[in-house]
């Protein structure tokens, strides 16, 4: 696998975790494509305008584009591995594939900054899109999910994160981009809280208090950690970058985790989902699915910041002409001169 292109600036995929986030998924209404194309290059400016007065808020926005939307928005080639997310239906549990043309992953240390940017985005998209999902995520206690476990412990860091997440020269037209899969999970907290701490730890594959992964000879093969660890035949462990967040409503009794996983290739995350929902030779399915139900699932491509600022033209638009002034044809005068005083051409 080639190195990521150092000249293609990624979007803020590798930004540090924040205290709050908004996950916004929309579909493009018929005829709304031009409105979306006009917005995408302006996203960076909108983020700067809102985030500039509060740099400590670390406001960022990552935009992803779904498979069907890509061909409606742009002419020319498409990302090599962009496709609709495949539904994974096991004997007991199902990972659905749900509609989504655009993802806006908005993050900050302050919720008001996320809200302000989302408002500007939706004002621009008014009448052109339909909201499919809108989730307000928050940091919970000491970086734990609502199940009480630390989430994202195994995220790669530094150059390892870039290698795992950013597209390189294997797809040069889209170097600097990334793939992202999102899923909204709802938890049955009554069932979860009725379990002993030991049973919870065996479900996850880590200790609850200390967040230490169980030894291989102790960790159950149907634990979450065991089934989401992807190892290639040559022994290489494949990684993704998670920025999951808890969400919930006490009044509605709705509690969950919004899964968001960035990767250089969607194949890694899709293999994780297949193992979770279909199991393997040693496990029927991921034990966590007995208390956590997937409600949504969508795959997006995240263009580089450079490509987002200057996206391809719309479908059907002819390729852009080479830069520079148009060529001019000058006919020689009939008398054989060069047209400058009395100078004559060399043919004379």
Confidence of residue 29 (pLDDT cuts 50, 70, 90): very high
Rounded Cα–Cα distance for residues 342 and 348 (Å): 13
CB burial string 211-248: b at 16+ within 10 A, e below: eebbeeeebbebbbbbbbbbeeeeeeebbbbbbbbbbb
Look up residue 282 and give its DSSP letter: S
The CA distances from residue 71 to 10, 62, 79, 101, in Å, are 22, 20, 11, 11
Beta bridge pairs of residue 130: 27
Q: Percentage of residues in the chain with pLDDT exceeding 90?
A: 85
Q: Are strands 88-89 and 178-187 parallel, antiparallel or unpaired?
A: unpaired
Mean pLDDT of 266-280: 97
Active-site choice (5, 101, 133, 151): 151
Predicted local distance difference test score (pLDDT) of residue 188 = 97
Rounded Cα–Cα distance for residues 131 and 108 (Å): 21
Rounded Cα–Cα distance for residues 117 and 105 (Å): 11
Question: 1-15, 52-66, 82-96, 250-264: lowest mean pLDDT where?
Answer: 1-15
Predicted local distance difference test score (pLDDT) of residue 1 = 55
Q: Percentage of residues in the chain with pLDDT exceeding 70?
A: 89
Say whether pLDDT at 301 is over 90.
Answer: yes
Mean pLDDT of 197-209: 97
Condensed to tens digits (0 to 9), the pLDDT of residues 307-334 reads: 999 999 999 865 454 444 444 444 444 4
Q: Which helix (H) or strand (E) holds 112?
A: helix 111-125
Are residues 182 and 259 in contact, defined by beta-carbon separation less than 8 angstroms? yes
Which residue bears the tokens 């206690």?
Answer: 141
Rounded Cα–Cα distance for residues 130 and 257 (Å): 23
Sign of CA dihedral 110, 112, 118, 120: negative
Residues 6+ apart with CB under 8 A from 158: none
Question: What are the backbone angles phi and psi of residue 112, rounded to the nearest 5°?
Answer: -60, -35
Predicted local distance difference test score (pLDDT) of residue 54 = 97
Chain mean pLDDT for the chain: 91
DSSP string for 25-84: EEEEPTT-HHHHHHHGGGHHHHHHHHHTT-GGG--EEEEEE-HHHHHHH--S---TT--P
User: Does 211 participate in catalysis according to the annotation?
Assistant: no
Condensed to tens digits (0 to 9), the pLDDT of residues 31-90 reads: 999 999 999 999 999 999 999 999 999 999 999 999 999 999 999 999 999 999 999 999
Predicted local distance difference test score (pLDDT) of residue 142 = 81
Chain-centroid distance, C-alpha 6: 20
Chain-centroid distance, C-alpha 318: 29
Residues 6+ apart with CB under 8 A from 96: 87, 294, 295, 296, 297
Say whether pLDDT at 165 is over 50.
Answer: yes
Look up residue 290 and give its DSSP letter: G
Predicted local distance difference test score (pLDDT) of residue 143 = 84
Question: 145-159, 163-177, 277-291, 300-314: lowest mean pLDDT where?
Answer: 145-159
Say whether pLDDT at 343 is over 50.
Answer: no
Mean pLDDT of 270-285: 97
Virtual torsion, Cα 214, 218, 221, 222, nearest 10 deg: -70
The CA distances from residue 223 to 21, 145, 200, in Å, are 28, 17, 10
Mean pLDDT of 150-158: 90
- CA-wise closest residue to 182 among 231, 249, 135: 135
Q: Which helix (H) or strand (E) holds 38?
A: helix 33-39
Condensed to tens digits (0 to 9), the pLDDT of residues 104-143 reads: 999 999 999 999 999 999 999 999 999 999 999 999 988 8
Beta bridge pairs of residue 20: 108, 138
Helix axes 111-125, 43-51, angle to 10 degrees: 140
Rounded Cα–Cα distance for residues 185 and 212 (Å): 24
Mean pLDDT of 220-246: 95
Condensed to tens digits (0 to 9), the pLDDT of residues 132-146 reads: 999 999 999 888 999
Predicted local distance difference test score (pLDDT) of residue 289 = 98
Predicted local distance difference test score (pLDDT) of residue 338 = 39
């Amino acid at each position: 696998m080639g190195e990521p292109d150092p000249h293609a600036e990624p979007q803020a995929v590798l930004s540090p975790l924040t205290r709050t986030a908004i996950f916004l998924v929309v579909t493009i209404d018929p005829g709304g494509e031009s409105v979306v194309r006009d917005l995408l290059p302006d996203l960076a400016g909108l983020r700067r305008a809102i985030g500039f007065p509060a740099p400590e808020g670390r406001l960022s926005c990552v935009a992803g584009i779904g498979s069907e939307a890509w061909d409606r928005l742009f002419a020319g080639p498409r990302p090599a591995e962009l496709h609709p997310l495949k539904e994974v239906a096991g004997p007991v549990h199902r990972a659905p594939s749900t509609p989504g043309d655009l993802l806006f992953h908005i993050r900050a240390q302050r919720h008001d900054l996320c809200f302000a940017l989302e408002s500007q985005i939706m004002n621009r998209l008014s009448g052109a899109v339909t909201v499919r999902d809108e989730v307000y995520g928050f940091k919970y206690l000491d970086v734990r999910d609502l199940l009480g476990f630390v989430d994202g412990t195994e995220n790669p860091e530094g150059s390892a994160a870039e290698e795992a997440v950013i597209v390189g020269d294997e797809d040069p037209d889209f170097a600097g981009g990334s793939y992202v899969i999102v899923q909204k999970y709802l938890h049955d907290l009554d069932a979860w809280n009725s379990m002993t701490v030991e049973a919870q730890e065996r479900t996850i594959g880590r200790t609850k208090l200390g967040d230490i992964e169980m030894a291989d000879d102790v960790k159950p093969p149907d634990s979450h950690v065991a089934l989401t660890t992807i190892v290639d035949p040559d022994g290489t462990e494949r990684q993704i970058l998670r920025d999951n967040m808890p969400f919930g409503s006490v009044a509605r009794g709705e509690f969950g985790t919004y899964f968001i996983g960035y990767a250089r290739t969607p194949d890694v995350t899709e293999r994780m989902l297949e193992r979770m929902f279909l199991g393997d030779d040693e496990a029927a399915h991921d034990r966590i699915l007995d208390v956590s139900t997937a409600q949504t699932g969508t795959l997006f491509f995240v263009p580089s910041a450079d490509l987002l600022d200057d996206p391809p033209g719309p479908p059907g638009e002819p390729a852009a002409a080479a830069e520079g002034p148009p060529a001019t044809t000058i006919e020689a005068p009939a008398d054989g001169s060069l047209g400058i005083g009395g100078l004559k051409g060399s043919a004379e």
